[in-house]
Amino acid sequence: MCGIVGYVGAGEAVPLLLNGLGRLEYRGYDSAGLAVHSGSGLDLRKCAGRVEDLAQRLVANPVAGKAGIAHTRWATHGAPTRANAHPLTDCRGEVALVHNGVIENCDALRTKLSKLGHRFTSETDSEVVAHLIEEAFEGNLERAVAAALTRVEGTLGLAAMSVHDPARIVVARRGAPLLLGIGENEEATWVASDVAAVLEHTRNIVYLEDDEVAILTPSGHETINLGRDRGRVGWEPVPKEVSRIDWDLAKIEKAGYPHFMLREIHEQPHTVRDAMRGRLLAEEGTARLGGLDELRPDIDRAERIVLTGCGTSWHAALVGEYILEALARLPVEVEYASEFRYRDPIIAPGTLVGGISQSGETADTLAAVREAARLGAPTFGIVNVVGSTIARETRAGIYTHAGPEIGVASTKAFVAQVASLALLGLMIARRRGLGREEGRSFVRALDGLPALIGEVLATEDHIRRVAEEFADASNFLYLGRGPNFPIALEGALKLKEISYIHAEGYPAAEMKHGPIALIDENMPVVFMAPRGAVYSKVLLNIEEVKARGGRVIVLVTGRETDLGRKVDHVIPVPATLPLLQPIVNVVPLQLLAYHIAVLRGCDVDRPRNLAKTVTVE
Ligand code: AGP
């Protein structure tokens, strides 16, 4: 998904825009561009590639102005070329536009506009909006933007400037995140896709809702709600609440690590601690989740919980299913959000639906939660980004407090999600009869997790040595049982995302029903074999792989000796309760994927074709 940033104020816009774009690049890095109003006209600079490539171009061919808009792209329509880079303009170059989202009826609009004589210079869907604004323009940019929105279907967060207005930016939101930054010690107003782009300058944030248009000037903003959701197109200025962000800038820096991903992996002891802060009630042996208070009666009446999400968040939901069912004896179903939203799901009374999302903006998860609410289910969110759309649209929720996660491959947000699900499971279980003593021992185990993760991080050198042996692999299999099966999926996803090695995760026993055909001396197989009810079964699966010449890496709890002679590599991890072992077991898999990717020279923080927040379908 693309990243948008805009600035209007007394300062020089270009360095501020480039800096903001750099902070948004994890959202998409196919091309970059900006437009500034020099006072006499709109100047555009854009290129295929990274923000630093754009910065180079601006050194060679500078532009200047006190107001500007900028964009970093994740291509949906049209290849990552300079022509398809934003900003895009109308025929006369009088309107410049940057857009995040997808215009679903772009083909029909393009045909109509071409018939009216409009000439298109890109293959993008976004460019139609610039021409629609041109069509509607009668001297007032915001009115023209609003008129254009009445003809557009799809999702958008956009910012536009007109050659006629040197110190005005008009922005609009429908379905893609957009927020305003209000200058603290200066006359300045910002627009951005997320807070990381403006945090250096202000913590005063205004979140735009769907179908809102805002006019930005140095002295502030005026926000209009088009009221489309009330079935009419109006023009109603609305007061907007200013939220104060408590994240500090240091949180979005690398802090001396070579990559954000490695920094975030090493943050996880603190992350789990922060996710549980103020929520563990050791004496009562339960958890307090104030953000769910409003949903308490529904939780107590719940007969079924549906957890939904995408990617890593879906894996967290799978671990949550094991924890909630085992602890609270409450049936849980886990749904891919992209499937759930279109399959007319059965939402019987007593069904609660939880949307899990790091960004809180993932289009499929947002739509799944909206669909559940439309079908009458009470909804809650397990979300990391404060003030994000899923957080604001669900009736109640749990913030995971993992802090900003910049690396595209999610790591710390995952452990915070699973820790939050464990707290939820404990809270519900204690309200449904789980004994105080059992609750207390679960609280003690939760409380011990940060130290255990610290122990795993201390074995990084060993894991790097294992990575060195497998960095040239072209396939990997990950196998686990019970709550470690989702960790097999997550380990495989991490490796796929950042090293581009094909990898699959499977329930260990599922292997002999097909995947075992893949096993030979070139197939590394990672097993999770913590001591426990199915340990001996996993040992059998390991034997099956070794019998076919597979190379085995095994995660074991405690000091294992005899297994060491049977497998290629042993990665010892500290033991905890079986339901919480996934939080410990995922860390060595994150490190293994990270070091293999680094050894293969991959751009770990900006893996190809990916984006951190997927705001389109
Ligand atoms: C995970 O590393 C990926 N970045 C991706 O699968 C991600 O988990 C998915 O897009 C969901 O994102 P969300 O948690 O922000 O909703």
Question: For residue range 421-460, what is the model confidence (pLDDT) as tens digits?
Answer: 999 999 999 999 999 999 999 999 999 999 999 999 999 9
State if residue 489 touches ligand 1 by the CB under 6 angstroms criterion: no
Question: For residue range 134-173, what is the model confidence (pLDDT) as tens digits?
Answer: 999 999 999 999 999 999 999 999 999 999 999 999 999 9
Q: Following CA atoms 132, 136, 137, 141 in sequence, which dihedral angle do they give, to the nearest 10 degrees? A: -70
Mean pLDDT of the chain: 94
- Percent of the chain with pLDDT strictly greater than 90: 85
Cα–Cα distance, 260 to 283 (Å, whole number): 37
Does the pLDDT of residue 252 top 80, yes or no? no
Residue 386, pLDDT score: 86
Question: For residue range 162-192, what is the model confidence (pLDDT) as tens digits?
Answer: 999 999 999 999 989 999 999 987 889 999 9
Cα–Cα distance, 407 to 259 (Å, whole number): 8
Q: 2 catalytic, yes or no?
A: yes
Question: For residue range 33-57, what is the model confidence (pLDDT) as tens digits?
Answer: 999 999 999 999 999 999 999 999 9
**What is the number of the ligand 1 atom nearest to the C-alpha of 385?**
15
**Cα of 93 to ligand 1 centre, how many Å?**
37
Q: Following CA atoms 308, 312, 315, 320 in sequence, which dihedral angle do they give, to the nearest 10 degrees? A: -70
Question: For residue range 108-120, what is the model confidence (pLDDT) as tens digits?
Answer: 999 999 999 999 9
Crossing angle of helices 412-431 and 581-599, in 10° steps, is: 170
State if residue 409 touches ligand 1 by the CB under 6 angstroms criterion: yes
Cα–Cα distance, 552 to 180 (Å, whole number): 51
**What is the number of the ligand 1 atom nearest to the C-alpha of 612?**
4
Cis ω on the peptide bond leading into residue 237 (within 30° of 0)?
Answer: no
Please give the C-alpha separations between residue 209 and each of 23, 175, 177, 557, in angstroms, as whole numbers: 23, 8, 8, 48
Q: What is the DSSP letter of 87?
A: P
Cα–Cα distance, 301 to 306 (Å, whole number): 14
Residue 597, pLDDT score: 98
Q: In 3-state terms, what secondary structure has residue 326?
A: helix
Cα–Cα distance, 373 to 394 (Å, whole number): 8
Query: Residue 230 — pLDDT band, cuts 50, 70, 90?
Result: very low
State if residue 614 touches ligand 1 by the CB under 6 angstroms criterion: yes
Instruction: For ligand 1, pick from 319, 406, 410, 497 the residue to mutate: most ligand atoms within 8 Å of CB.
Output: 410
Catalytic choice (66, 240, 496, 612): 612
State if residue 357 touches ligand 1 by the CB under 6 angstroms criterion: yes
Query: Residue 560 — pLDDT band, cuts 50, 70, 90?
Result: low
Burial (CB count <10 Å: 0-12, 13-18, 19+), residue 77: middle
Q: 612 catalytic, yes or no?
A: yes
Question: For residue range 461-505, what is the model confidence (pLDDT) as tens digits?
Answer: 999 999 999 999 999 999 999 999 999 999 999 999 999 999 999
Residue 228, pLDDT score: 53
